[in-house]
Amino acid sequence: MAKRRKLVVANWKMNGRLTSGLNLAKDLVDRAAEQKPLSFDVVLCPPFTLLWPIGETLMGSPLLLGGQDCHIANHGAYTGNISAGMLADLGCRYVILGHSERRAQHGETSDLIARKVTAAQLAGLVTIVCVGETMEQRASGTTDLVIAEQVTSSLPDTVQASQLVLAYEPVWAIGAGETPSIDDIRHVNKIIRRSLGAMGEVVPVLYGGSVAPNNAGPILEEPEVDGVLVGAASLNSDGFWAIAEKCR
């Protein structure tokens, strides 16, 4: 398997105000400038409210911008929603879709997520599609089945491999300070690749869930892991950059 360039994604979730968000982004731009050229890719996914100012801050730097969700439609009477075209318009190159918090808190089904993938890819975005088992599913030994089912049903038939990234995010590990063993991560990432069929050779598969400076090294050294999706630890520039640097 060819070695893929690692990808480190910051998912700020519903965190960050104008001043704190801009300071964080500026710090990261400075860090990236210290080590040109970057040997890995970094994507910042701030809340919608900060996309414009942070996009301006990232301009001219190697850091890329991403959204945390998008709607299935391109425009229309959808109060409170944001379309993939709007994200692209603001300079986003990526969008996270199907995060377990969207699935659980907003009732998002894999079918809906597949439609979002279609919309986002049509708008030219790279879609980071999240899958992961709950603690109950893990305990009942159904992880492999759950993951395979989520992968196949969260992707449309028309999915473009060149605009696709998968992220294994065990629900029980997110925000919990706990991660699966490297063996478990390797095993599930292989299941994801297998479920992707021929695309599995080229699509990056990340890991996410309580990634922190003290555990990122072995995770990022694992050949089956093409990068990480970082939540809480991405809100601190020192911590986030310490994780990103483990890609080297």
Residue 46 in the binding site for ligand PGA (CB under 6 A): no
What's the rounded Cα separation, in Å, for the pair 96 and 70? Answer: 8
Cα–Cα distances in angstroms (integers) from residue 152 to residues 159, 209, 220, in the given order: 11, 21, 25
What's the rounded Cα separation, in Å, for the pair 167 and 205? Answer: 5
Residue 210 in the binding site for ligand PGA (CB under 6 A): yes
What's the rounded Cα separation, in Å, for the pair 110 and 207? Answer: 19
Q: Please give the residue whose beta carbon sits closest to ligand PGA in the complex.
A: 231
Q: Under DSSP, is residue 191 helix (H, G, I), strand (E, B) or coil? A: helix
Residue 114 in the binding site for ligand PGA (CB under 6 A): no
Residue 208 in the binding site for ligand PGA (CB under 6 A): yes
Which among 99, 101, 108, 133 is annotated as catalytic?
A: 99
By CB under 6 A, the count of residues binding ligand PGA is 13
Nearer to ligand PGA, 85 or 94 (CB): 94
Residue 187 burial by Cβ neighbours in a 10 Å radius (0-12, 13-18, 19+): middle
Nearer to ligand PGA, 79 or 181 (CB): 181
Is 169 labeled as catalytic in the residue annotation? yes
Asked if residue 93 lies in contact with residue 125, where contact means CB atoms within 8 angstroms, the answer is yes
Residue 175 in the binding site for ligand PGA (CB under 6 A): yes
Query: What is the largest distance, in Å, between two alpha-carbon atoms of the chain?
Result: 49
Residue range at the interface with ligand PGA (CB under 6 A); choices 33-41, 58-66, 187-195, 230-238: 230-238
Phi, psi of 40 (to 5 degrees): -145, 165
Residue 245 burial by Cβ neighbours in a 10 Å radius (0-12, 13-18, 19+): middle
One of 230, 243, 244, 247 touching ligand PGA (CB under 6 A): 230
Find the DSSP H helices in the chain.
18-34, 51-58, 84-89, 100-105, 110-122, 135-139, 143-153, 182-195, 216-221, 237-244
Which among 101, 108, 133, 169 is annotated as catalytic?
A: 169
What's the rounded Cα separation, in Å, for the pair 77 and 40? Answer: 39
Residue 179 in the binding site for ligand PGA (CB under 6 A): no
One of 6, 8, 10, 11 touching ligand PGA (CB under 6 A): 11
Nearer to ligand PGA, 155 or 230 (CB): 230
Residue range at the interface with ligand PGA (CB under 6 A); choices 38-46, 86-94, 147-155, 227-235: 227-235
What's the rounded Cα separation, in Å, for the pair 185 and 226? Answer: 12
Residue 7 in the binding site for ligand PGA (CB under 6 A): no
One of 229, 243, 244, 247 touching ligand PGA (CB under 6 A): 229
One of 63, 231, 237, 246 touching ligand PGA (CB under 6 A): 231
Is 71 labeled as catalytic in the residue annotation? no
Which chain residues interact with ligand PGA by CB under 6 A?
Answer: 11, 169, 174-175, 208-211, 229-233
Catalytic residues: 99, 169
